[in-house]
Amino acid sequence: MTGRFYVTTPIYYVNGAPHIGHAYTSVAADVMARFHRLAGDEVFFLTGTDEHGQKVEQAAQAAGIDPKVFVDRVSADFRNMADAMAISYDDFIRTTEPRHITGAQALWQKVAESGAIYLGAYEGWYALRDECFYGEDELIDGPEGKKVAPTGAPVDWVKEPSYFFKLSAFQDKLLELYESHPDFLGPNSTKREIVSFVKQGLRDLSISRTSFKWGIPVPGDEAHVMYVWFDALANYLSALDYPNPDAPRAAFWPANLHLVGKDIARFHAIYWPAFLMAAGIEVPKKIFANGWWTIEGQKMSKSLGNVVDPRDLAKEFGVDAVRFFLLREVPFGGDSDLSRKSLITRNNVELANDLGNLCQRTLSLVARNCDGIIPERRALTEADTHLLGQVSVLPELMAAQLERCALTDALEDVWKVIRAGNAYIDHQAPWALRKTDVERMKDVLRVLLDALRGIATVLQPFMPQSMDRMLTQLGVEDGERTFASLEILLPAGRKLPAPQGLFPRYVEPTAEPS
């Protein structure tokens, strides 16, 4: 059944340059979007940048430029990173755009009309790095005997007039939401954390600031700007032209999936549904938090100088090898480490050997022994049927895995079939059949071509560029690359282009002897 699918990434802060962590969530969301498009769904895939708040204001000041000039520059860099990583977003929202300001103010007004906002004074701890308020009881001991946020971020005592959101009134409703919609929040580890946090009791939330100006003015009280998280979360609606109910995009709400990192699960799983409930708007269907990447065993940080720009990796290894590595290395939802060694191993073993060689061996046999022409599909043996059967269930199998955000398991399902394909070619030995039974050789090659077409079709969301090349080499035309088109066999007699390697083996350059 086809339908609508709305998937989002976080909108990234523009106080720093894009890195591999940002690329990770975006690649995962991209796989979801591309998969649903191939399944025939109408997809809306949103990414963008989060450009307000004190942290961004300070970064602009530190760079000595006007905030707007600063955010324009960094936002363009994030867009460039998304393009370089083949992120097929349908829209890129920036919170400094008029359409977003309209949407965020409309949402504020709707929440205010429900009676869930009141004016008070905030006095408490604020961690600028996290753009997050913390209760005294949440703080932990930091360096030099100072208290810090549970994330390790420094905290400041803040005292200023503020509008509050009555978050405390939503505690039971939120618990009921998690209870009645078991798929609303994942993975389970994040869900357990959030449920226990909400059960401990929710305090009302300060949602405006008066001590700086770089933000969206609170409707009716221009002395206040919105708390950056109220502003940012509203992007998921403003990109759909909220509050215009007649906008064509409005039909995409509620979002099917907000993909986020586990660091911001709290904002998405607690604040966001509470704001929406107050405004009388449906809550999203699912929030899923990815795990955290370290680099060669260390936390990524500017001070350690180990921040990885995904564009550099893509230049060196190819975009698809990087995308593949990110989603293959660890079950999606878990934490993982980026090491050069494991990236190279995955590239060489799984891409170059398992998939690349199977494709190369098949295509060169077709080139040499069938004049590069797709042979006819004739009667199948048990072994043929078995392999093709495994291929044909892949779209359905993977759809079920993606439904639960098990991206790594979906890849494993495909690799099982690739390994079966390698066993099949070794066992059938078409190179030997060339001398003993040419007709059977052709049948075997046709089965392999069909199996490879299925495999390349389902891998398109993960590795769009190399699977495009692979499908071209297999003689599959543009209109024959959706899941539905797999039902129709390619006609025999098509001439294939000369085979070319898909995934080069990576050999680490050895240092020049000095």
Instruction: Tell me: does residue 214 bind ligand ME8 (CB under 6 A).
Output: no
Alpha carbon of 432 to those of 354, 371, 426, 446, 447: distances in Å? 21, 17, 10, 16, 16
Q: What binding mask, one character per residue, do residues 273-302 give for ligand ME8 by CB under 6 A, x or -?
A: -----------------x-xx------x--
Written as six digits, the tokens of 277 are 């409930």
Q: Smallest gap, in angstroms, from Cβ of residue 382 to ligand ME8?
A: 45
Residue 316 CB neighbour total at 10 angstroms: 12
Q: Which is nearer to ligand ME8, 424 or 462 (CB)?
A: 462
Q: Which is nearer to ligand ME8, 164 or 272 (CB)?
A: 272
Interface positions, 291-350, toward ligand ME8 (CB under 6 A):
292-293, 300
Q: What is the DSSP letter of 236?
A: H
Instruction: Tell me: does residue 50 bind ligand ME8 (CB under 6 A).
Output: yes
Q: Which is nearer to ligand ME8, 82 or 366 (CB)?
A: 82
User: Which of 69, 74, 85 shows the shortest CA–CA distance to 29?
Assistant: 85
Instruction: Tell me: does residue 77 bind ligand ME8 (CB under 6 A).
Output: no
Instruction: Tell me: does residue 263 bind ligand ME8 (CB under 6 A).
Output: yes
Q: Smallest gap, in angstroms, from Cβ of residue 195 to ligand ME8?
A: 20
Q: Smallest gap, in angstroms, from Cβ of residue 271 to ligand ME8?
A: 10
Tell me if 454 sits within 8 A of 391, measured CB to CB: yes
- 31-39, 230-238, 455-463, 498-506 -> range binding ligand ME8 (CB under 6 A): 230-238
- 241-249, 256-264, 275-283, 500-508 -> range binding ligand ME8 (CB under 6 A): 256-264
Written as six digits, the tokens of 79 are 């867009």
| Nearest residue (beta carbon) to ligand ME8 | 21
Q: Smallest gap, in angstroms, from Cβ of residue 25 to ligand ME8?
A: 3
Q: Smallest gap, in angstroms, from Cβ of residue 321 to ligand ME8?
A: 19
Alpha carbon of 13 to those of 94, 123, 324: distances in Å? 10, 25, 25
Query: In which residue are the tokens 């954390």 written?
Result: 193
What number of residues does the chain have? 514
Of 194, 239, 260, 351, the one binding ligand ME8 (CB under 6 A) is 260
Written as six digits, the tokens of 83 are 């393009």
Of 7, 10, 33, 447, the one binding ligand ME8 (CB under 6 A) is 10
Of 56, 81, 132, 232, the one binding ligand ME8 (CB under 6 A) is 232
User: Which of 399, 465, 91, 111 shows the shortest CA–CA distance to 248?
Assistant: 91
Rounded distance, CA 78 to CA 335, Å? Answer: 23
- 20-28, 106-114, 420-428, 481-489 -> range binding ligand ME8 (CB under 6 A): 20-28
**H/E element holding 9?**
strand 4-13
Query: In which residue are the tokens 């680490």 written?
Result: 508
Give first-to-last CA distance, the chain, whole Å: 64
- The distance of Cα 259 from the centroid of its chain, to the nearest Å, equals 6
Q: Total residues contacting ligand ME8 (rule CB under 6 A)?
A: 20
Instruction: Tell me: does residue 24 bind ligand ME8 (CB under 6 A).
Output: yes
Q: Smallest gap, in angstroms, from Cβ of residue 301 to ligand ME8?
A: 10
Of 5, 6, 7, 13, the one binding ligand ME8 (CB under 6 A) is 13
Instruction: Tell me: does residue 261 bind ligand ME8 (CB under 6 A).
Output: yes
- The per-residue DSSP string of 186-217 comes to ESHHHHHHHHHHHHT----EE-EESS---SPE
Q: What is the DSSP letter of 267?
A: I
- 19-27, 204-212, 410-418, 456-464 -> range binding ligand ME8 (CB under 6 A): 19-27
> In 3-state terms, what secondary structure has residue 93?
strand
Written as six digits, the tokens of 204 are 């009302």
Written as six digits, the tokens of 184 are 């609303």
**H/E element holding 164?**
strand 156-165
Instruction: Tell me: does residue 21 bind ligand ME8 (CB under 6 A).
Output: yes
Instruction: Tell me: does residue 81 bind ligand ME8 (CB under 6 A).
Output: no
Instruction: Tell me: does residue 11 bind ligand ME8 (CB under 6 A).
Output: yes
**H/E element holding 147?**
strand 147-148
Q: Smallest gap, in angstroms, from Cβ of residue 128 to ligand ME8?
A: 12
Q: Smallest gap, in angstroms, from Cβ of residue 231 to ligand ME8?
A: 9
Give the residues lining the site for ligand ME8 (CB under 6 A): 10-13, 21-22, 24-25, 50, 232-233, 235, 260-261, 263-264, 290, 292-293, 300
